[in-house]
């Protein structure tokens, strides 16, 4: 039992320190992009990496112990002192804040892509999958509604159709991971309506698109 507990402790600590290191690298990247924006601009891959860090942070904040979160913050504070780069503010201290940050990152990048038509900044299905996956694990209010809104926008993009009045315009078609994330969100919802929506979604998936059959 002691060995098992020690093993999980090491894995957990390693995860936290890896997340702190990833955060440090990402903040340096953002600092470089803002300082030398003409030479180093955000692109599809850098935004994917940034979203991945936020998603992992949300998981830790939602599932970690108080000691885990304290270790993360101490590691980030040490990095900030060493690097001289300001780390996250209070928005990074809650799962809800992480979800808002991810939503804002995607929305800002979508607007830049739409206005500049920059192929280096083309939204990726991975962006949306990171967001939906984080929503599914967040346990936040309206997580399911937000995930369904994103899926609706992705399906409209795939079908070259119109989005609903309260919908969201997306720039990538869904894949199996997208649908799995929304289904997971529905099962986590725990309501009867969530189960009904999951059944409807599975039926739609069985009808098939190239990405999910």
Spans in the chain with pLDDT lower than 70: 1-11, 83-90, 189-194, 208-213
- Predicted local distance difference test score (pLDDT) of residue 213: 56
Instruction: Compute the distance between CA of residue 98 and CA of residue 105 in angstroms, rounded to an integer.
Output: 11
In terms of Cβ atoms closer than 10 Å to its own Cβ (0-12, 13-18, 19+), residue 102 is: buried
Tokens of 198: 């999951």
- Predicted local distance difference test score (pLDDT) of residue 66: 87
Tokens of 186: 């529905």
Beta strands in the chain (DSSP E): none
H/E stretch holding 3: helix 2-35
pLDDT digits (tens, 9 = 90+) for 67-112: 888 888 888 888 777 766 666 666 778 899 999 999 999 999 999 9
Average pLDDT, the chain: 82
- Predicted local distance difference test score (pLDDT) of residue 124: 95
H/E stretch holding 116: helix 95-116
- Predicted local distance difference test score (pLDDT) of residue 179: 92
Tokens of 45: 């891959």
Instruction: Compute the distance between CA of residue 16 and CA of residue 57 in angstroms, rounded to an integer.
Output: 9
- Predicted local distance difference test score (pLDDT) of residue 170: 94
Q: What is the pTM of this model?
A: 0.82
**Residue among 137, 100, 136, 105 at smallest CA distance from 123:** 105
């Amino acid at each position: 039992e002691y060995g098992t507990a020690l093993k999980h402790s090491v894995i957990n600590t390693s995860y936290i320190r890896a997340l702190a290191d990833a955060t440090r690298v990402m903040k340096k990247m953002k600092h470089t992009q803002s300082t030398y924006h003409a030479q180093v601009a955000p692109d599809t891959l850098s935004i994917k990496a940034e979203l991945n860090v936020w998603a992992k942070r949300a998981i830790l904040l939602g599932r970690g112990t108080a000691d885990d979160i304290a270790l993360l913050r101490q590691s980030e504070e040490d990095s900030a002192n060493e690097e001289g780069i300001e780390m996250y503010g209070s928005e990074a201290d809650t799962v809800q804040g992480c979800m808002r940050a991810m939503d804002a990152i995607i929305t800002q990048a979508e607007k830049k892509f739409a206005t500049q038509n920059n192929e280096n900044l083309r939204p990726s299905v991975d962006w949306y999958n990171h967001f939906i996956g984080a929503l599914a694990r967040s346990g936040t209010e309206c997580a399911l509604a937000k995930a369904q809104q994103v899926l609706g926008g992705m399906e409209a993009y795939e079908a070259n159709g119109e989005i609903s009045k309260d919908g969201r315009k997306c720039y990538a078609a869904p894949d199996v991971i997208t649908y799995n994330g929304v289904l997971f969100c529905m099962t986590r919802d725990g309501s009867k309506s969530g189960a009904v929506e999951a059944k409807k979604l599975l039926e739609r998936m069985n009808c098939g698109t190239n990405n999910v059959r």
